[in-house]
Amino acid sequence: MAQVEIRDVRHAYSTKAGPLPVLDGLELSVPEGDFCAVVGPSGCGKSTLTRLVAGLMKPDEGEVWLHGELVKGPRKTVGMAFQNPVLLEWRTILDNVILPLEIVAPSMPRKDRVARAMELLDMVGLSGFENKRPSELSGGMRQRASLCRAIVHKPDVLIMDEPFGALDAFTREDLWQTMRALRQAEPFTALLITHDLRESVYLGDQVVVLSGRPARTQYVLDVTLPADRPLDILYTQEVGEMLHVLRDQIKIAQGRPVEGAA
Amino acid sequence: MSERVRQIIVPILAILIFLAGWEALVWINGWPNYVMASPSDLPAAYSRFADLFLIGAWQTLWRTVLGLLIAVFAGLALGMLMGFSRTMRDALYPLLVGFNAIPKATLVPVLALLFIGQHDFNTVMMAFLISFFPIAVSISVGLSTLEPEYRDILRALGASRMTIFMKIALPKTLPEFFGALKVSVTLAFIGTNLVEIVSPHGRGLGALFLSGQTNSNYPLMFAVLIALALLGIVLYYAVVALEKIFAGWAERQES
Ligand SMILES: Nc1ncnc2c1ncn2[C@@H]1O[C@H](COP(=O)(O)OP(=O)(O)O)[C@@H](O)[C@H]1O
Ligand SMILES: [Mg+2]
């Protein structure tokens, strides 16, 4: 059974100018342990999709299933990361990472929480920074800490909304590799929103292209690359072709002509 | 080390220069005591009325602090109501602004008639009424401007509103809260003194000022003013110290 299953979801926001349809017949299925990257024109409803999967809001129509259960509200088996790392300035990096455990496992001894957080901080290269304040870290380091916090409670599903969007190109590539290392160490199913096609192919097992607003599933690309991916796999012809297909699909989603731009 | 010494020496020097200037002003103009007392008159007033000063200062202090504490709780409650509910914000904001605009001196007779003879109660009440507004506003603004993502990191785990408030919204609002508290502590102090000075049988430093006035003891009046200033400084810096402890995020949070 698929870990994340979205069936014919429709949703509209009510605005001053009347209802604004955002999702219109969205379908998505992510098998357990898979990594699903979602791309689409800006404003098409990607963040709305993450909020629906996280149970932060309910769709007008359609169903969202997580590991065989209909999503009716928030659940402890979900982890979230955003473009803004939203670290709490009054806590150290360590205590920021521990935060979800205070909610999910209130009876867990502090010693065990610290051990778990340190294990993750070590994995993303932040050991030695655990007692620093968020403001003392660079943007890339903060995003690493934010990723640790998102998975510290071993969620089944990790939902990320453009987590690397605000980072420079080199830092971003570092974070991609960190992301892949985390996936090898920790089993989770991932849903990643991104506007970077290379990122979607490098990290994804499948790439879902959403149409312009209101979004529906326009195209699904199966990424047929080995699990072990060095960065320079991005410069192979195989990946080049995938990126080409995705770019054409994005143009269609944006309602722009496909020819003439290649 | 030398920085710490500097931090102590500079304000003391400033105060000494101020006192010297005051003394010189009175001396140059040749003002007698019934026009304006000079700093050199004050020690005599303090030693003569030492008991009254201590009792008065204590009365002024505890009533100010109690009024401020009530203001903190009321302001927190109102701020939470307005911060979490837009309807409450729309409903309460104009009321609060209107209430805040009323000159508080007009409330003295109202309170005095409502609670006849309850001098302590009236004083604490005034300290509270005059000082809760900045606290309520700072909390409501802090809560209503909290970025949704901050809420979502805990809400996505099914945390209750109370947990989100305690772990995220409240600490994030603390710097604004203490900014408001610094204003409020001064206001509460003014409120206490206002009631003390205008009540016929009042207590506290304000009442001591009034008795200096009725007895034409000008050095006593000025001595009270200086004592009030000192007490005001103590209260203000007590809030600053609390701010350092609770919102001075430079220090480590827990071991
Ligand atoms: N709470 C809301 N109320 C009304 N409109 C909203 C709300 N949230 C998002 N929108 C609108 O819905 C559309 C999709 O938003 P979003 O899901 O954030 O898109 P994306 O993440 O793909 O850029 C946008 O046009 C946005 O302005
Ligand atoms: Mg978005």
Question: A98-104 long-range CB contacts below 8 Å, 24 or more apart?
Answer: A98/A152, A99/A149, A99/B153, A99/B154, A99/B167, A100/A149, A100/A150, A100/A152, A100/A153, A100/B153, A100/B154, A100/B157, A101/A152, A101/A153, A102/B167, A103/A76, A103/B154, A103/B157, A103/B158, A103/B159, A103/B163, A104/A76, A104/A153, A104/B157
* A chain contacts of residue B167, beta-carbon cutoff 8 Å: 99, 102
Q: Is the pLDDT of residue A88 over 90?
A: yes
**Quick check: B168 contacting A, CB < 8 Å?**
yes
Distance A47 CA to ligand 2 centre (A): 4
Partner residue facing B152 (CB), from A80, A99, A100 = A80
Across the interface, do A78 and B171 touch by the CB < 8 Å criterion?
no
A155: nearest CA partner in chain B? B157
Which of A15, A16, A20, A56 is the pocket-test mutation for ligand 1 (most atoms within 8 Å of CB)?
A20
Least confident interval from A67-71, B173-177, B199-203: B199-203
pLDDT digits (tens, 9 = 90+) for B205-215: 999 999 998 98
B167: nearest CA partner in chain A? A99
Portion of chain A with pLDDT greater than 70, in percent: 98
Index of the ligand 1 atom closest to the CA of residue A41: 22
Write out residues 173-232 of B within 8 Å (CB-CB) of A. Answer: 174
Query: Is the previous residue joined to A214 through a cis bond, with omega within 30 degrees of 0?
Result: yes
- Of the pLDDT bands very low, low, confident and very high (cuts 50, 70, 90), residue B118 is confident
Q: What is the structure's pLDDT at B70?
A: 98
CA B106 – CA A185 distance, rounded (Å): 70
Helix (H) or strand (E) holding A39: strand A35-39
Domain boundaries, chain A: 1-75+203-257
Substitution target in A88, A97, A135, A157 with the highest count of B β-carbons within 10 Å is A88
- Of the pLDDT bands very low, low, confident and very high (cuts 50, 70, 90), residue B250 is very low
- Of the pLDDT bands very low, low, confident and very high (cuts 50, 70, 90), residue A206 is very high
Residue bearing the CA closest to ligand 1, atom 20: A43
Residue bearing the CA closest to ligand 1, atom 17: A45
Using the CB atoms, write b or e for B34-63: b if 16+ within 10 Å. eeebbbebbeebeeebeebbeebbebbbeb
Q: What is the structure's pLDDT at B1?
A: 59
Q: What is the structure's pLDDT at B255?
A: 37
Tell me the whole-structure pTM to 2 decimals: 0.83
B168: nearest CA partner in chain A? A88
Q: What is the structure's pLDDT at A260?
A: 54
Domain boundaries, chain B: 53-250
pLDDT digits (tens, 9 = 90+) for B177-195: 999 999 999 999 999 999 9
Across the interface, do B156 and A78 touch by the CB < 8 Å criterion?
yes
CA B46 – CA B39 distance, rounded (Å): 11
Q: What is the structure's pLDDT at A228?
A: 86
Q: Is the pLDDT of residue A259 over 70?
A: no
Q: What is the mean pLDDT of chain A?
A: 92
Q: Count A/B contacts: CB-CB distance under 8 Å.
A: 65
pLDDT digits (tens, 9 = 90+) for B131-166: 999 999 999 999 888 888 999 999 999 999 889 999
pLDDT digits (tens, 9 = 90+) for A23-76: 998 999 999 999 999 999 999 999 999 999 999 999 999 999 998 889 999 999
Distance A22 CA to ligand 1 centre (A): 7
Mean pLDDT over residues B224-248, rounded?
Answer: 92
Q: What is the structure's pLDDT at A256?
A: 81
Q: Is the pLDDT of residue A197 over 70?
A: yes
Fold of A1-75+203-257: Rossmann fold (3.40.50)
Ligand at shortest distance from the CA of A40: 1
Residue bearing the CA closest to ligand 1, atom 3: A13
C-alpha pair distances (Å), A106 with each of A103, A153, A256, B159, B163: 6, 11, 52, 11, 12
Least confident interval from A136-145, A195-204, B47-56, B243-252: B243-252
Among the residues of chain A, which ranges form H helices? 46-53, 93-104, 110-123, 139-151, 169-185, 197-203, 237-254
3-state class of A221 per DSSP?
A: strand
Distance A71 CA to ligand 2 centre (A): 21
- Of the pLDDT bands very low, low, confident and very high (cuts 50, 70, 90), residue B253 is very low
Ligand at shortest distance from the CA of A48: 1
Q: Judge if ipTM > 0.90.
A: no
Question: A252-258 long-range CB contacts below 8 Å, 24 or more apart?
Answer: A252/A211, A252/A218, A253/A40, A253/A41, A253/A44, A253/A209, A253/A210, A253/A211, A253/A212, A253/A218, A254/A41, A254/A212, A255/A212
Across the interface, do A88 and B156 touch by the CB < 8 Å criterion?
no
Q: What is the mean pLDDT of chain B?
A: 90
CATH 3.30.70.2190 fits B53-250, yes or no: no
Q: Is the pLDDT of residue B251 over 60?
A: no
Mean pLDDT over residues B91-115, rounded?
Answer: 88
CA A39 – CA B60 distance, rounded (Å): 65
The residue among A130 and B252 whose pLDDT is bigger is: A130
The residue among A121 and B110 whose pLDDT is bigger is: A121
| Strand duo A189-193 + A157-161: pairing | parallel
